[in-house]
Amino acid sequence: MIERAARTALGLALGGLTALAHLVLVAPAAALLLPPARPAVAGAVRRLAGVERARVAALLGGQDAAVAQPSLRRVLRYLAARLPVGLLGAAVLTLLGIGAVFGATMLWSWVTRTPWVLEQEPAIVVSTTLVAYYALPGAVLLYLGLAGAAAVARWERSLLARLLAPSREEQLTQRVAELSRTRDAVIAAVDDERRRIERDLHDGVQQRLVALGMLLGRARRHPDRTTEFVAQAHEEARRALADLRDVSWRVYPAALDSEGLAAALESVAERAPLPVRITCALPAEPLPALRAVVWFVVCEAVTNAAKHSEALRVEAEVLMDGSVLRANVRDDGRGGADPSGGGLAGLARRVQAADGTLTVTSPPGGGTTITAELPCA
């Protein structure tokens, strides 16, 4: 509560300062009427609007849903509309500050029995009667000041949403671009998965089957050693079956559907060559598509940590944060992972295919943290 009030006060104070700055810039803005100066002034105006958008979104709780490049007319309308709002916010904060100084100095005089610093001639010591006299109107004025500050903050958010929000055509354009990007991510993720399956089959199961065929052929050509070659063939068939099960598990573990995400993640920890601690605190099972993405992210992150990071321990946590399904995988390895590398880039594409985001933090010597965030609504 205190932090939110401080952020609001800071946002309104900065809004008052920028409003005063806008007043100073009104005359130079008239240079928009002069064609030679128009590009420079237009760029400065857009940058000012960007500063205001960032201020409202970061400090006043607004949602910056503005288009990437709003029209100059829309930007000018927004700056002109928020000018009185910023000045009003500065006035409200000024009155609150004056009231706070008045009340603090009065209470100090009352508690310490020293002369009230705001009363120079004649110097008086604030009495209990005087404190009681000012208590009620002071509380009312404090309430009105806080309510006014909250109203100005709502006004700021409303102006940002109403005047810089994208039009329906712009929303459709953004959605089409987003769908195109998601489609490309899906296609890339499918291609990556197809190549991975082909590589696993070629390097594992296929080689085992070739060896099995050669052993059976040798058994036919050497009847006197049939028992020996059949035993070797049986062992090779067992290994091929184990490799095939391993490939099938990496493609999609059956436990995801039969036992749920937590059980599937525990199987990742059981198969890992290093200690892995799994924490899966979910109020309900996610959708099948999201379960598969989370499982794949955790599985690949653990595999990468075991192969490349020289880690001694991995911790994986899956939880719900509002309407976002978040998976965090941290290791204590040497760090320095490249987010644009093949493995992590494939993870990012798979997460993007579900409209999610993947963040990789890997300072040299500081371990690696992989965070996937997937919207559930």
Q: pTM of whole model > 0.75?
A: no
Collapsing DSSP to helix, strand or coil, 7 comes out as helix
Q: Which of 242-246, 281-285, 298-302 has the lowest mean pLDDT?
A: 242-246
Contact 262, 280 (CB under 8 A): yes
The Cα 94–Cα 81 span in angstroms is 21
Instruction: Encode pLDDT of 120-156 as tens digits.
Output: 667 788 888 888 888 888 889 888 888 988 888 888 8
Joined together, the tokens standing for residue 149 give 């500050």
Q: Which of 66-70, 300-304, 305-309, 369-373 has the lowest mean pLDDT?
A: 66-70
Instruction: Encode pLDDT of 80-126 as tens digits.
Output: 888 888 888 888 889 988 888 888 888 888 888 888 877 666 778 88
Q: Domain map of the chain by residue range?
A: 2-166, 170-251, 259-375
The Cα 72–Cα 29 span in angstroms is 12
* pLDDT at residue number 311: 85
* pLDDT at residue number 79: 82
Task: Give the gyration radius of the chain's Cα atoms.
Answer: 33
Mean pLDDT across the chain, nearest whole number?
80
The Cα 246–Cα 262 span in angstroms is 19
* pLDDT at residue number 362: 87
pLDDT at 69 over 70: no
Instruction: Encode pLDDT of 150-191 as tens digits.
Output: 888 888 888 887 877 776 777 777 777 777 776 776 676 667
pLDDT at 35 over 70: no
Q: In angstroms, what CA-CA distances link 239 with 208, 216, 244?
A: 7, 15, 9
From first CA to last CA, the distance across the chain in angstroms is: 28
* CATH number for region 259-375: 3.30.565.10
Q: Which of 34-38, 154-158, 302-306, 346-350 has the lowest mean pLDDT?
A: 34-38
Instruction: Encode pLDDT of 204-215 as tens digits.
Output: 777 878 877 887
* pLDDT at residue number 4: 76
Spatial CB neighbours of 118, under 8 Å, sequence gap ≥ 6: 102, 105, 106
* pLDDT at residue number 248: 64
Instruction: Encode pLDDT of 2-12 as tens digits.
Output: 777 777 777 77
The stretch 195-218 carries a mean pLDDT of: 76
328 pLDDT band, cuts 50/70/90, is very high
